[in-house]
Amino acid sequence: MKKSLAIVMALVLLLCSASALADTFPLTTEPVTFTVMSRTNAFYPNGKVGDTDVLRAYEEMTGIHMEFDDVDPSVFSGRLAAVMTGDPADYPDLIYKANITNAQSYEWGHEGILVDIAPYIDECMPNFKALCEQYPDILEAITTDDGHIYGLPQVIPYAPMKFPSKLYYNEKALAAVNMPVPTTTDELHELLLALRDSDFNHNGIADEVGIDCSANTLYQYFYGCFGLATRGSAHHPVVDVDPETNEIRVFATSDNYRKFVEYLHKLYADKLIYQEIYTEGDQCTKLTADERLAIYLGTTLYAVPTKYIADWTGLKLQPAGPDGDAVSTNARSTLHTEGNLVITSHCTNVPLALKWVDYFYSEEGGMFYHAGIENVHWQKNEDGTYGYTESFAATRTDDMTQDSFLAQAVLWPGGRNPAVMPANLFAGEYEAEPAATAYALAEYAPEKIWPIISWSEDENDVIASYLSDMKSFITRSTAAFVAGETEINDANWEKFVNDVNGMGASKVCEAYESALTRMYGEGNW
């Protein structure tokens, strides 16, 4: 009751202040319901995005009810494809937290499945329009060659979230081996060997885990140590520019990619990487709770239970590889992800749907989206930083992760958010260590980070036809090499390279060259 009353009282104040930034609340005086297919996560209350404090409060503010169909991430892609190829009468009005790619939205938009929102922006989305005027590359990245916009992005103008792959180490584990933080990949290997044999959790069992993360994060973190993904891998994990020739390439076919694979295989074979990485994925929460984990690769420390989070520190540098490469290549542009909210042809009130989401693209609305209600979930401290209120902090238990704690209130956890992430979020306890680490990694960023590309029709045909299958093949083959299922020898490597080339590598590179020439001029990629 106290929490509900606090939310209601804060909501009154929020309504008064927010009217200058969005259409006067409520947005409608008549009951309106939109059907929404949404990616969810287990850490949301009851596994439902709609059960968060922010969405309940926003329904009161706007007068709009969102009827959510929550879909687990493991089946979301398949479910999305089934919906898009099904009966239009069964389409949801909106698809939320979708991260639909430009290639997908181009196809579905031109088929009439998704609504072109470009004609509505001036009238219905003043906050998004102002943000695009401030950062012109946003519109360039989401607008098709014929002027259509089919999806709304997540915008992050600030460094902390532009570097998704960060290395965090357990200070207690490192103290047990009395070794400094690594500055090279060789030093990291030696450190991991020592940690493996150290019994740093003092249980008398050889159960220590060196590195845990998802397989994708593992790859993206180490690309920059081997001269790969030279234009940033967060948006473009397959194609980059050869630093020696300035030619566009599928970098998995390079000699350095073999060095990269050999290094990761060595870590895996020495049991320095969590051995179930390919079957279980990221197990940071469990491994940390069991006091077995030394190093975690991830965006934030949100998977670490509260009880242990003070033990973890971010590595403020990028380790140098065998040839001296030390670039934090898993870097994003200001437009973090595209297609996080799309509107289908089933929606009968497109302007109202866009007015509903527009508030989240204001500084105030972005804070509301990511941090919750002021003086209920967060407060501004006397020193100008931001932190949790005492009452909200009291809801956090030792076994909670940051994700499960925040997901009670806000919509940020799980990513793929149609909103702007405000700088205020990083001015305090919300993101203190990840923010400090990311600001340090900014010094190791690639010289140029390619933004998300809006393809022409011909380019999109090539990308849709070849890139996804090629990426999947590279990912599967890399896993087989790393795990030792396929021996890394000259014959197997030659076959891998030939297979990649045979899947349309040259055509993909030509599509990239065409798009990048349009964006930057010939050879300026």
- Region 480-490: what's the mean pLDDT? 98
Residue 453 lies in a domain: no
Six token digits for residue 150: 């089919």
Asked, as a colleague might, if the bond just before 26 is cis with ω within 30 of 0, I would say: yes
Domain that holds residue 81: 2-156+335-427
Percent of the chain with pLDDT over 90: 76
Residues 349 and 415 in one domain: yes
Q: Which long-range contacts (CB under 8 A, 24 or more apart) does 489-498 make?
A: 493/258, 496/252, 497/252, 497/253
Q: Write down the residue that tokens 């009452």 correspond to.
A: 391
DSSP one-letter code for 113: S
Report whether pLDDT(15) > 60: no
Residues 372 and 416 in one domain: yes
Residues 415 and 279 in one domain: no
Other beta carbons within 10 Å of 337: 23
- Region 376-386: what's the mean pLDDT? 88
What is the C-alpha separation between 264 and 261, in angstroms, rounded? 5
Counts for the chain of helices (H) and strands (E), in that order: 22, 13
The predicted structure's pLDDT at residue 403: 87
Q: Give 465: exposed, middle or buried? Use CB within 10 Å, 0-12, 13-18, 19+.
A: middle
Averaged confidence pLDDT in the chain: 91
Of 9-18, 69-78, 146-155, the one with minimum mean pLDDT is: 9-18
Residues 10 and 140 in one domain: yes
Pairing verdict, β 335-343 and 312-314: unpaired
Per-residue pLDDT of 179-208, as tens digits, reads 999 999 999 999 999 999 999 999 999 999
Residue 412 lies in a domain: yes
Q: Identify which of 101, 42, 34, 102 has the alpha carbon closest to the alpha carbon of residue 69.
A: 34
Give the CA-trace dihedral at 440, 442, 444, 445, to 10 degrees.
160
What is the C-alpha separation between 308 and 290, in angstroms, rounded? 10
Residues 98 and 72 in one domain: yes
> What is the pLDDT confidence band of residue 1, given thresholds at 50, 70 and 90?
very low
- Region 212-227: what's the mean pLDDT? 96
Q: What angle do CA 81, 82, 85 make, to 5 degrees?
A: 85
The predicted structure's pLDDT at residue 167: 97
The predicted structure's pLDDT at residue 329: 93
The predicted structure's pLDDT at residue 435: 82
Report whether pLDDT(216) > 80: yes
Report whether pLDDT(161) > 70: no
Residue 132 lies in a domain: yes
Report whether pLDDT(2) > 70: no
Six token digits for residue 138: 């946003």
Q: How many domains does the chain have?
A: 2
Residue 445 lies in a domain: no
Report whether pLDDT(142) > 50: yes
8 Å CB contact between 356 and 260: no
> What is the pLDDT confidence band of residue 429, given thresholds at 50, 70 and 90?
low
Ramachandran angles phi, psi of 446, nearest 5°: -60, 155
Distances (CA, A) of 17 to 25, 29, 45, 195: 10, 19, 28, 53
Report whether pLDDT(366) > 50: yes
Percent of the chain with pLDDT over 70: 94
Residues 294 and 356 in one domain: no
The predicted structure's pLDDT at residue 95: 98
Residues 278 and 232 in one domain: yes
In 72-223, DSSP assigns E strands to 94-96, 152-155, 166-170, 209-212
Per-residue pLDDT of 64-84, as tens digits, reads 999 999 999 989 999 999 999
Q: Identify which of 256, 111, 267, 113 has the alpha carbon closest to the alpha carbon of residue 185.
A: 267
The predicted structure's pLDDT at residue 475: 97
Q: Find residue 32's DSSP bridge partners.
A: 64
Report whether pLDDT(12) > 60: no
Residues 169 and 289 in one domain: yes
Residues 219 and 178 in one domain: yes
Buried b / exposed e along 270-306 (16+ C-beta atoms within 10 A): eebbbeebbeebbbbbebbbebbbbbbbbbbbbbbbe
Q: Identify which of 328, 331, 338, 329 has the alpha carbon closest to the alpha carbon of residue 453.
A: 338
Residue 466 lies in a domain: no
Residues 317 and 350 in one domain: no
Amino acid at 241: V
The predicted structure's pLDDT at residue 16: 45
The predicted structure's pLDDT at residue 488: 98
Buried b / exposed e along 35-65 (16+ C-beta atoms within 10 A): bbbbbbbebbeeeebbbbbbbebbebbbbbe
* Domain limit, last residue, from 372, 400, 427: 427
Distances (CA, A) of 102 to 98, 109, 453: 12, 10, 7
Residue 366 lies in a domain: yes
Report whether pLDDT(157) > 80: yes
Report whether pLDDT(442) > 70: yes
Report whether pLDDT(19) > 60: no
Other beta carbons within 10 Å of 202: 9
What does 450-518 look like in DSSP terms, one character per residue?
Answer: -------HHHHHHIIIIIHHHHHHHHHHHHHHHHTSS--SHHHHHHHHHHHHHTTHHHHHHHHHHHHHH
Six token digits for residue 509: 């590179």
- Region 107-112: what's the mean pLDDT? 94
Residues 251 and 394 in one domain: no
Please indicate whether residue 295 or residue 334 has the higher confidence score (pLDDT): 295
Ramachandran angles phi, psi of 135, nearest 5°: -125, 85
Residue 460 lies in a domain: no
Residue 97 lies in a domain: yes
Domain containing 481 — which CATH number?
A: 3.40.190.10
> What is the pLDDT confidence band of residue 18, given thresholds at 50, 70 and 90?
very low
- Region 394-417: what's the mean pLDDT? 90
Q: Find residue 367's DSSP bridge partners.
A: none
The predicted structure's pLDDT at residue 426: 61
Report whether pLDDT(367) > 80: yes
Residues 181 and 283 in one domain: yes
